[in-house]
Structure 1
Amino acid sequence: MPYDRISELPDAVRDHLPKHAQEIYKEAFNSAWGDYKDPADRRGDATREETAHKVAWSAVKQKYRKGDDDNWHPK
């Protein structure tokens, strides 16, 4: 389901991403949630939620990278 606030994001996102990256994640997830409503638009047998999470992580990775310290940093 789409997220209204970043406080609703999964713990793995809230606990490890900077606030700006969380905002990117939320917006990308919500957009993908709408874009991939139809199962025919998804790859394989991925669920709508799995697809939206993959899209969201991809969006974050365009602007952030995970450092050697296991924290996410702007590129």
Structure 2
Amino acid sequence: MPYNKIEELPQDIQDKLPQHAQQIFFAAFNASQRDGLSEEGATNVAWNSVRNEYEQSQNGEWHRKAEDTAVHNKAVTSGGN
């Protein structure tokens, strides 16, 4: 069942993840549920979405990944195939 607010996320997720990562989890989980995924499937999608921007350190704390400037600063060109 989709969550109505971030405060409804399981306590262990609230305890582990920073606020922004909780927002990512919340949005990805709810979108997956609306698309018809099971709770387990939506949870997997939500965790994968968090892992796209965050990583867990050796001490278990989650922190945002450093930006990959090669990916974020790609030039966009138009025309031709």
TM-score range, shorter chain: 0.7 to 0.9
Residue in 2 that maps onto 1:52:
42
Task: Give secondary structure in 2 for the equivalent of 1:15.
Answer: helix
Identity of aligned residues (%): 45
| Structure 2, unpaired ranges of 5+ | 66-81
**Cα offsets for 1:37-71 (capped at 9, x unmatched):** 2xxxx6xxxxx100000000000000000001210
Please give the TM-score of this superposition, normalised by the length of structure 1: 0.83
Please give the TM-score of this superposition, normalised by the length of structure 2: 0.77
| Structure 1, unpaired ranges of 5+ | 43-47
**What is the number of equivalent residue pairs in this alignment?**
65
Higher relative contact order (CA 8 A, sep 6+): 1
RMSD over aligned CA atoms reads 1.0
Task: Find the structure with the greater CA-based Rg.
Answer: 2
Q: After TM superposition, where is structure 1 displaced by more than 6 Å over at least 4 residues in a row?
A: none
